[in-house]
Amino acid sequence: MPPVPHDILRDPVGSLPEEWDALCASWSERPFRARQVFRWIQTRSVADAAGMTDVSRGLRDRLAAMGLAMPAHIDRANRATDGTRKLLIGFPVGGTVESVLIPPMPDDDDDEDEEVAEAGPRAPAKRVTQCISTQVGCAMGCVFCASGVAGLKRHLTAGEIVAQVLLGRTLLEEGEALRNVVLMGMGEPLHNYDAVARALRLLTHHDGIGLSTRRVTVSTSGLVPEIERLGADFRGEVALAVSLHAPDDDLRSSLMPVNKRYPLGELMPALRRYPLARRRRITIEYTLIAGVNDRPAHARGLAKLLRGVPAKVNLIPLNPVEGNAWRAPQRADVEAFQTILRADGYSAFIRRTRGDDIDAACGQLALHGAAAVKRKLPVFAGAGEA
């Protein structure tokens, strides 16, 4: 695809090495200086020119003059008893999102064999997953989602998306290493395609954060043209998660308005076409809402819908959102749903809500402190804490 024009002066932290090369060349700086600056930002989370101690004084002054700075800050960090950390991330230009650091859990069940094989004989670091946001709010309007209720406030820049990881890294604890990044926080990543694609390049850049491409997961409500674009731009190497939540168009459209634009008849063929590497699967997210989409007939419908898609299913009991009466199903109903999928040969996992005591469930905007959401959702016990 043709490169999307990028203004390094507007989004320096979202800039790639070659863009630093060009800027430094225009300042008659030697090429290695450009790499130094890129590395300070991307590998050491230093975006303040004054902190770049091995960079020449003249270049530091120029960087400071162009306004180079971290485009985000941690407004608040809460740690749950299970080690989950929720960050409230604020932006100097306005808006707040959340990001969650999730430590490995003893019952983490999927991909375990693969992990052991990869880690070899060395003791593996504690593999942390970070969930990050891509927009302030979300335009997709899913009825069970706090971000959807809030509506879209604005797209994040690539620098603001990556800054969540640069800042999150500063909160890693002894023995922990960032291993996975999931774009499952606030926002619809594929609705902010250009910034997200750039952020993916930065997250996986070997001179920078250096995550393995398949350990970065883009979660989407199902924007078909952008799924195709993502598959083509990253040759299917970026992991894809698709939120289905219903086995048929009527129910799905009632939960997710985006289904009217891209119904299952278009979405499912796009998933079958996604250029997955061998032995890789698409993650299907299915949020279970009691009495709405959690009946055995729904599970059977989902199994049928998924035929021919290399998929594993994550079942996510609803995190109730104030303002509607929906609740998570009973555990027995969640397990019955899982059993039906497994009987049909699908991997199906029940996602536990982590960090319960700090309201840190990834994929659900925490309402504390999110002023934009509070305005729309009148009743919330504890909202005054913000």
Interface contacts to ligand SAH, rule CB under 6 A: 138, 142, 144-145, 184, 188, 219-221, 243, 285, 287, 316, 318-319, 321, 363-364
Closest CA to 132 of 98, 91, 166: 98
Q: Residue 157 or 319: which CB sits closer to ligand SAH? A: 319
Query: Residue 89 is inside which H or E element, if any?
Result: strand 85-90
HSE-CB for 118 with a 13 A CA cutoff: 11
| Candidate list 16, 68, 88, 145; residue touching ligand SF4; CB under 6 A | 145
- Candidate ranges 35-43, 49-57, 65-73, 142-150; the one touching ligand SF4 (CB under 6 A): 142-150
The option from ligand SF4, ligand SAH, none interacting with 218 (CB < 5 to 8 A, set by class) reads none
What is the Cα–Cα distance from 339 to 331, expressed in whole angstroms? 12
What gap in Å lies between CA 138 and CA 134, rounded to an integer? 9
| Pattern 171-190, ligand SF4, x by CB under 6 A | ----------------xx--
**Gap between the Cα atoms of 84 and 326, Å rounded:** 25
- Residue with the two structure tokens 């400071």: 64
Looking at the Cβ atoms of 52 and 140, the one nearer to ligand SAH is 140
Q: Where are the alpha helices (DSSP H) in 218-352?
A: 224-233, 249-255, 258-261, 264-273, 296-305, 331-343
Least Å from the CB of residue 27 to ligand SAH: 39
User: CB under 5 to 8 A by kind: which of ligand SF4, ligand SAH, none does 91 bind?
Assistant: none
| Alpha-carbon gap, residue 162 to 326, rounded angstroms | 34
Residue 96: name its binding partner from ligand SF4, ligand SAH, none (Cβ under 5 to 8 Å by kind).
none
Cβ proximity of 230 and 238 under 8 Å: yes
Catalytic (active site) residue 29: no
Nearer to ligand SF4, 180 or 219 (CB): 219
Using rule CB under 6 A, residue 142 touches ligand SF4: yes
Please, which residue, 42 or 129, has the CB nearer to ligand SAH? 129
Which one of ligand SAH, ligand SF4, none interacts with residue 316, CB within 5 to 8 A by kind?
Answer: ligand SAH
For residue 366, give the nearest of 94, 96, 180, 81 by alpha carbon. Answer: 96
In the chain, % helix, strand, coil (3-state, to 5) comes to: 40, 20, 45
Nearest to 273 by CA among 318, 242, 304: 242
Q: Which residue is nearest to ligand SAH (CB)?
A: 363
Nearer to ligand SF4, 128 or 316 (CB): 316
142 noted as active-site residue: no
Residue closer to ligand SAH (CB basis): 167 or 288: 288
Query: Which of 98, 188, 226, 237 does the annotation list as catalytic?
Result: 98
Tell me which stretch binds ligand SF4 (CB under 6 A): 33-41, 140-148, 156-164, 207-215: 140-148
Answer yes or no whether residue 267 interacts with ligand SF4 by CB under 6 A. no
Question: Does the footprint of ligand SF4 cover residue 223 (CB under 6 A)?
Answer: no
- Contacts for 350 with CB less than 8 Å, ≥ 6 apart: 315, 317, 334, 335, 338
Q: Which residues contact 355 (CB under 8 A, 6 or more apart)?
A: 80, 82, 84, 85, 86, 100, 102, 361
Report, as residue numbers or ranges, the catalytic residues: 98, 362
Question: Which residues contact ligand SF4 by CB under 6 A?
Answer: 138, 140-142, 145, 147-148, 187-188, 221, 243
